Amino acid sequence: MEEKKLPAREPEPPSGGADDEVEPAPDERARVVGLLGPAPVQIDDLVRPSKSSPAVVRMVLLELEIAGQLERHGGGLVSLA
Protein backbone atom coordinates (compact mmCIF):
# COMPACT_ATOMS: atom_id res chain seq x y z
CA MET A 1 0.00 0.00 0.00
CA GLU A 2 1.44 3.33 -1.05
CA GLU A 3 1.24 6.30 1.35
CA LYS A 4 0.14 9.64 -0.03
CA LYS A 5 2.07 12.65 1.14
CA LEU A 6 -0.01 15.75 1.78
CA PRO A 7 1.56 19.20 1.58
CA ALA A 8 2.14 20.92 4.92
CA ARG A 9 0.03 23.97 5.62
CA GLU A 10 -0.65 26.33 8.48
CA PRO A 11 -3.56 25.41 10.73
CA GLU A 12 -6.59 27.61 10.31
CA PRO A 13 -7.61 29.64 13.35
CA PRO A 14 -10.86 28.58 14.99
CA SER A 15 -13.83 30.76 14.23
CA GLY A 16 -17.09 31.42 15.96
CA GLY A 17 -15.75 30.47 19.39
CA ALA A 18 -16.24 32.44 22.57
CA ASP A 19 -12.48 33.06 22.82
CA ASP A 20 -12.23 34.86 19.47
CA GLU A 21 -12.33 38.26 21.15
CA VAL A 22 -10.29 38.42 24.32
CA GLU A 23 -9.94 42.17 24.72
CA PRO A 24 -10.61 42.63 28.44
CA ALA A 25 -13.06 45.33 29.48
CA PRO A 26 -11.72 47.84 32.02
CA ASP A 27 -13.82 46.33 34.82
CA GLU A 28 -12.51 42.84 33.97
CA ARG A 29 -8.93 44.09 34.16
CA ALA A 30 -9.62 45.71 37.51
CA ARG A 31 -11.18 42.52 38.92
CA VAL A 32 -8.24 40.34 37.84
CA VAL A 33 -5.63 42.80 39.13
CA GLY A 34 -7.59 43.13 42.38
CA LEU A 35 -7.24 39.38 42.95
CA LEU A 36 -3.46 39.52 42.62
CA GLY A 37 -1.03 40.40 45.36
CA PRO A 38 2.48 39.58 46.54
CA ALA A 39 1.52 35.98 47.42
CA PRO A 40 1.55 33.58 44.44
CA VAL A 41 -1.85 32.23 43.33
CA GLN A 42 -2.91 29.63 40.77
CA ILE A 43 -4.01 31.11 37.46
CA ASP A 44 -7.02 28.79 37.54
CA ASP A 45 -8.03 30.30 40.89
CA LEU A 46 -8.39 33.73 39.27
CA VAL A 47 -11.02 32.78 36.69
CA ARG A 48 -14.14 32.16 38.78
CA PRO A 49 -13.80 35.06 41.25
CA SER A 50 -12.92 37.47 38.43
CA LYS A 51 -16.16 36.51 36.62
CA SER A 52 -14.13 36.50 33.38
CA SER A 53 -13.30 33.85 30.81
CA PRO A 54 -9.97 32.01 31.04
CA ALA A 55 -8.88 33.76 27.83
CA VAL A 56 -9.54 37.21 29.33
CA VAL A 57 -7.65 36.32 32.52
CA ARG A 58 -4.69 35.08 30.46
CA MET A 59 -4.74 38.29 28.41
CA VAL A 60 -4.73 40.49 31.53
CA LEU A 61 -1.84 38.46 32.96
CA LEU A 62 0.07 38.78 29.69
CA GLU A 63 -0.45 42.55 29.69
CA LEU A 64 0.82 42.75 33.28
CA GLU A 65 3.81 40.56 32.43
CA ILE A 66 4.75 42.72 29.43
CA ALA A 67 4.49 45.80 31.66
CA GLY A 68 6.86 44.15 34.16
CA GLN A 69 4.19 44.01 36.86
CA LEU A 70 3.68 40.24 37.00
CA GLU A 71 5.98 37.55 38.31
CA ARG A 72 5.50 33.93 37.19
CA HIS A 73 6.38 31.13 39.59
CA GLY A 74 6.61 27.38 39.08
CA GLY A 75 3.45 25.30 39.03
CA GLY A 76 1.30 27.86 37.24
CA LEU A 77 1.50 30.42 40.04
CA VAL A 78 1.56 34.19 39.50
CA SER A 79 1.94 37.25 41.73
CA LEU A 80 2.38 40.96 41.37
CA ALA A 81 6.02 41.96 40.98
In angstroms, the CA 55 to CA 20 distance is: 9
b/e map 9-20, b = 16+ CB within 10 Å: eeeeeeeeeeee
In angstroms, the CA 81 to CA 68 distance is: 7
* 36 located within any domain: yes
* 12 located within any domain: no
This prediction's pTM: 0.73
Which pLDDT band holds residue 17 (cuts at 50, 70, 90)?
A: low
* 58 located within any domain: yes
* 41 located within any domain: yes
Which pLDDT band holds residue 19 (cuts at 50, 70, 90)?
A: very low
* CATH number of residue 57's parent domain: 1.10.10.10
Tell me the per-residue pLDDT of 28-71, one tens digit each, with 9 for 90 and over.
Answer: 999 999 999 999 999 999 999 999 999 999 999 999 999 999 99
The whole-angstrom distance between residue 46's C-alpha and the CA centroid of its chain comes to 11
Which of 39, 43, 65 is CA-nearest to residue 55? 43
